[in-house]
Structure 1
């Protein structure tokens, strides 16, 4: 059985446009929420952990072992 926005909207007694807006809001919220590793990295950076100071890109790459 295929999912259609029109059928979903009808079943919920809501306009199709509102269902689409709701789906877009959910998608945007999902994309803005960092995954666990990114959230941990952001937190560490705010706490000053794992922060590198470099004089140039090549200096940074050298510190990172790249």
Structure 2
């Protein structure tokens, strides 16, 4: 996988606290930042993979569910 260098500005105290905690956990700061970036992308991507899959199934008329009322919905969802 090709890598690139990314330069960003952060407050000195934020940088130092981040580096201190990363070192305490025996993890390179760059690895932690990559994980944070991946998590940010995964949680903010719209629509997400599950939503896309559900939309495709709905368009095909698959996996469609009907409920009588709210209680029936909760029962079908197991909540």
- With structure 2 as the length reference, what TM-score do the two structures score? 0.39
**Structure (1/2) with the larger helix percentage:** 1
- With structure 1 as the length reference, what TM-score do the two structures score? 0.44
Q: Which one has more relative contact order, counting CA pairs under 8 Å at least 6 apart?
A: 1
